[in-house]
Structure 1
Amino acid sequence: MNEAKTPERSPGAHIRSLMRSLDRATLSTGMVNGDGWPYGSLVMTAADQDGSPLLLLSDLAEHTANFNADPRVSLLFDGTTGLAEPLTGARVSVLGRVKKIEDERMAERYLRHHPSARMFAGFKDFNFYRVSVERAHIVAGFGEIHWVEASNILSERVPELEEAEAGIVEHMNEDHADAIQLYSSVLLGRDGEGWEMTGCDPEGCDLRLGGAIARLDYDAPVRDADETRKALVSLVKRARQSAAE
């Protein structure tokens, strides 16, 4: 998925946006049985409400053995796909420590983003993990290179919205599929029928159609279900006005 970096967006906000809008990354760990040699693997990701990466991983995987010995990891999020000149696009290496979680809300958030992963989630040798971000390095084109600390990357946690998210997503998919279709086709210019919402956070909502994903940002951050409803209604109005022009 490609996105243009707007001038007013800070490097930290740009990093958070990449983590939210992409569904996979390259996980780098140090080989426990290989004298610390770096080991890279493809993992499917979701971002928690604050932007922290969430993972579902097998105990049998090489990377799991590696970070069980040393929890320090790096995740490379690549936002350059499809660009004629990939090196002009944005990519970010996120450094942090990975930790196993037993949090139903986080697990469900991941599984809404990756429905096919439900078949693995119940296996005893699969577990959910959260990466506690410490800092990140973003390269977003010539002269746009920054190291950014976690305090400037992650957004503030909003407990009211965390609790309400599952209900909002279910309501939108069951009762407002037409609105979601307007978001995808009119506001995001994405093809296909049957887009569904997979998550919402303080800054926007996430959509999926089969293997395709899309990210739609709000005009302003929200803090609870009522503010989310108003933001979604505003986006519908904008989409209908654009479609009528």
Structure 2
Amino acid sequence: MTQDDMPRSVRDLLRGLDRAALASALPGETGAWPYASLVLVAVDHDLSPILLLSDLAEHTKAIKADDRVSLLFDGTGGLEQPLTGPRVTVLGRAERTTDERSKARFLTRHPDAAMYAGFKDFHFYRVTVERTHLVSGFGKIRWIDRAELASPEAPGLANAETGIVTHMNEDHSDAIQLYASKLLGLSGQDWRMTGIDPEGIDLRQGGQVARLAFDAPLAAGGEARKVLVALVAKARAAA
């Protein structure tokens, strides 16, 4: 991996995972203490992590006192030598959000969360990323700031995402299955699309998530259909 590849590696890792370790500063009588907990995450088009947190949780109390947080995205699962695998620490500030599109993106990524997302003590938070720290193996370590991490933009895609995902799941579930089985080599049935961004699509089957990257980033939301059709052709050719 070259230095130029590292920002893309960070984006792929954050988008490819659906959970992270959240570290916050828990207030105490002797000062704030580092507090780490497991949270479910959806990552927005601009790479901002979206969280759904209960007011009763210790990490939420910490965020209300100090909005600075850290999220560890661990991509080392299944490796015989975990320290050779990639992980990214995100530094940012967490703030409550009422943005409906952000809520929809999270709940599509985590459909089971819909059962408690409407509870009065649960609220959505968006983490504004300030910088990240990538460790992708021994000696492959680098700080990457927000500007360098910026994702390619595809105007119109974020607003069209819900319609695209719904259409694919309801009318083209066979295409999604081809993406999973032929392009990603994944087993099992009933894979569903949970998101699309300029650099790829996100899939889920039960508790398993996967990401299929595009060969080239989308330049506009209107390109999504053409690329998704091309991926079906590619999957059928692979079959």
TM-score (norm 1): 0.94
| Residue 166 of structure 2 corresponds to residue 170 of structure 1 | yes
Equivalent residues in 2 for 1:129-208 (5 A)? 129-208=125-204
Q: In structure 2, how many angstroms separate the alpha carbons of the residues matched to 1:18 and 1:206?
A: 12
| Residue 61 of structure 2 corresponds to residue 65 of structure 1 | yes
Structure 2 residue corresponding to 1:37, chosen from 22, 33, 36:
33
Distance 1:193 1:232, change over 3 A: same
- 1:42 is displaced (CA, Å) by 0.2
Structure 1 residue corresponding to 2:96, chosen from 100, 117, 133:
100
What secondary structure is seen at the aligned counterpart in 2 of 1:10? helix
Q: In structure 2, how many angstroms separate the alpha carbons of the residues matched to 1:61 and 1:175?
A: 39
Equivalent residues in 2 for 1:210-225 (5 A)? 210-225=206-221
Q: In structure 2, how many angstroms separate the alpha carbons of the residues matched to 1:143 and 1:156?
A: 28
- 1:154 is displaced (CA, Å) by 3.0
* Residues 40-81 of structure 1: CA deviation (Å, up to 9, x unaligned): 000000000121100000011000010111100000000000
Identity among equivalent positions (%) equals 57
Q: How many residues align?
A: 238
Q: In structure 1, how many angstroms separate the alpha carbons of the residues matched to 2:55 and 2:28?
A: 16
Residue identity in the other structure for 1:26: A
* Residues 154-212 of structure 1: CA deviation (Å, up to 9, x unaligned): 31554411111000001111111111000000100111011010110111100111111
In 2, are the aligned partners of 1:164 and 1:225 still within 8 Å (CA)? yes
Residue identity in the other structure for 2:134: I
Equivalent residues in 2 for 1:121-136 (5 A)? 121-136=117-132
In 1, are the aligned partners of 2:48 and 2:128 still within 8 Å (CA)? yes
Q: In structure 2, how many angstroms separate the alpha carbons of the residues matched to 1:130 and 1:59?
A: 15
In 1, are the aligned partners of 2:74 and 2:87 still within 8 Å (CA)? yes
In 2, are the aligned partners of 1:52 and 1:154 still within 8 Å (CA)? no
In 1, are the aligned partners of 2:107 and 2:114 still within 8 Å (CA)? yes
Would you identify which runs of 4 or more consecutive aligned residues in structure 1 move more than 3 Å? 6-9, 156-159
Distance 1:179 1:8, change over 3 A: farther
Structure 2, unaligned runs of 5 or more: none
What secondary structure is seen at the aligned counterpart in 1 of 2:41? strand
In 2, are the aligned partners of 1:138 and 1:147 still within 8 Å (CA)? yes
Q: In structure 2, how many angstroms separate the alpha carbons of the residues matched to 1:123 and 1:50?
A: 27
CA RMSD of aligned residues (A): 1.3
Distance 1:9 1:184, change over 3 A: farther
Q: In structure 2, how many angstroms separate the alpha carbons of the residues matched to 1:232 and 1:8?
A: 30
In 2, are the aligned partners of 1:203 and 1:217 still within 8 Å (CA)? yes
What secondary structure is seen at the aligned counterpart in 2 of 1:170? helix
Q: In structure 2, how many angstroms separate the alpha carbons of the residues matched to 1:226 and 1:176?
A: 18
What secondary structure is seen at the aligned counterpart in 1 of 2:175? helix
In 1, are the aligned partners of 2:156 and 2:222 still within 8 Å (CA)? no
Structure 1, unaligned runs of 5 or more: 1-5
TM-score (norm 2): 0.96
Q: In structure 1, how many angstroms separate the alpha carbons of the residues matched to 2:174 and 2:181?
A: 11
